[in-house]
Amino acid sequence: MQEIIKNSLAKSVTYLDYRKQVTDLLKEGKSTGNEQSEDLTKYSELNEVRMNRLDKTIQISEEVKIGLSNLQANYLWIVISEGWCGDAAQLVPIIHKMAELSENIDLRIVFRDENEELMNQFLTNGGKAIPKLLILDAETLTVLSDWGPRPEGAKNLILDYKAQYGVVDETAKTELQKWYLHDKGVSTQNEIMALVEKVEKQLV
């Protein structure tokens, strides 16, 4: 696992570089990842708008700010993502804002399709669902916990929809985006913070 992580870190980027790569590819009519299609490019364009909005509007709660400021151990956060992923567009800006608030967190982003070995270690029900946040000990590169691809409320919405209709269609995706809009990133912050605090108790 250590070698897989080191190989992925060598290809990792900062959040700003991630945003720039997504934007630059869109200027060429492309999306990130191995596959290229009109749909994926369209999703990437929508996500660009979402991320621009979230970068400006997302608010981290005072409780989470305090929790992040009190961290004692040093962490490396690796996010597995792609520019076309609707969930990533909603979640990665929140993860970035959280990481910015702590000197003890170094955030790196890796593209899923460029890091298949790493992705295969963190499958969700056998699938390569993203985004996936890996919380590592910064010194040893030991994976302490992982989170994703969705907060519980969003996950349950999709599971319930699929149980009722048998598919995840455009209507389901629209309902999911409405959920994210209403939640304002609160569930994501609280779930990740709870994980980090649990890990912190084990380390400190």
Q: For the beta carbon of residue 97, count every other beta carbon within 10 angstroms.
A: 19
- C-alpha to C-alpha distance for 103 and 161, rounded to whole angstroms: 40
CB 132 within 8 A of CB 172: no
SS3 76: strand
* Helices vs. strands in the chain: H and E counts, helices first: 9, 4
Q: 111: part of which helix (H) or strand (E)? A: strand 105-111
- C-alpha to C-alpha distance for 14 and 198, rounded to whole angstroms: 26
- C-alpha to C-alpha distance for 180 and 159, rounded to whole angstroms: 16
pLDDT at 180: 97
Q: For the beta carbon of residue 155, count every other beta carbon within 10 angstroms.
A: 16
Spell out the per-residue pLDDT of the chain, length 204, in tens.
Answer: 989 999 999 999 999 999 999 999 999 999 999 999 999 999 999 999 999 999 999 999 999 999 999 999 999 999 999 999 999 999 999 999 999 999 999 999 999 999 999 999 999 999 999 999 999 999 999 999 999 999 999 999 999 999 999 999 999 999 999 999 999 999 999 999 999 999 998 887
On the 0-12 / 13-18 / 19+ scale of CB atoms within 10 A, 49 is exposed
pLDDT at 202: 86
pLDDT at 67: 97
Q: Provide the residue ranges of all domains of the chain, joining segments of one domain with +.
A: 2-149+188-203
pLDDT at 82: 98
Q: Is the dihedral of CA 115, 117, 121, 126 positive or negative?
A: positive
Domain 2-149+188-203 falls in which CATH fold? Answer: Glutaredoxin (3.40.30)
